[in-house]
Amino acid sequence: MSALPYDWRKRTPIVVSPAGGAAMSAALAPTQSYWGYALSSIDVDAAAYINALVAAGGSINDATRNAIIAFITTGKTDGWWSKMLAVYPYIGGTAATHAINAKTPGTYNITWGGTVTHNSDGITGDGSTGYGNTNFKPSLGFASDYSAAMGVYSRIAGSTGNIDMGSGGGAGESFTILTVHSSGHFNMPVNHACWLHNKGNSAPRNGEVAYNDSNNRIGIYIGTTTSASARALYKNGTQVATSTATDTQARSDRNIGICCRLDSTNTASAFTNRNHGFGFISSGLSAGDASSITTAIQTLQTALGR
């Protein structure tokens, strides 16, 4: 079953049993007082996410609900939704709603720590203590060493901080990191060992793929690996860097952090104070996927007034 019907006229949920057998109720009563809508088809995954937002105390209006449905159905039509492992649209304006993984609510939900500001613009770290733990461990969460991706929508350049999403430790250890460095160095090493905090135009190391974006650290950034010798970075849907160096390192065994890097014992470090409007973790993405995802995120952000 791909769609969940909902009677807008009666404003009552319809319970269905999707594949997997668990009953799901679409608690999607409109916030506006009007009637006369014909039966509408609601995507099951969109309904699950909206239900989770409401259960977490979120107030979801018609425009936001429609934007969520459009985003997810676009992903299914264009073929990248099935590649998503964790999707964080940061909708609802609170720590509880922003924690929800839209792909599979309840799995890889974020645990927040330190000072993170939550509002209608998304999430903002404080650059010193604020972070999120996705509870996603690359060594277990990715099905393959060489099929992985992460993305983040950075809404402000930020004056301090280093890493937007990441896990890993010191020299010689495995990393899974997406960073828009305060110096403008945009990096994405998915598996291999390296230090990421190269300054300015320092050359990438150990197969790292990097792009110098010192003039503007605002936009939708995606980093992906699709083979041992194929990594790419995209900004706003355009490929800006690639690496073909062979990577033989294992996946990181630390959880992926938000607004930070999670090191051993999942201790946060390298905090950023950038404002994020969106984040995701997925299997490897093609150039077409990156372009479609970027457009879908942009459309969603516009609908959310960001």
pLDDT digits (tens, 9 = 90+) for 267-304: 998 898 989 999 999 999 999 999 999 999 999 999 99
Domains of the chain: 3-76 (no CATH), 79-303 (2.60.120.200)
The pTM assigned to this predicted structure is: 0.82
Q: How far apart are CA 79 and CA 81, in angstroms?
A: 6
Residue type at position 84: M
**Phi, psi (5° rounding) for residue 198?**
-70, 145
Give the residue carrying structure tokens 């946060």: 268
State pLDDT tens for residues 119-175: 999 999 999 999 999 999 888 898 887 888 989 999 887 765 578 888 875 444 556
Looking at residue 177, what is its pLDDT?
Answer: 67
Token output for 64: 């936001």
Residue type at position 119: N
Q: Which H helix or E strand runs over 76? A: helix 62-78
**Higher per-residue pLDDT: 300 or 211:** 300
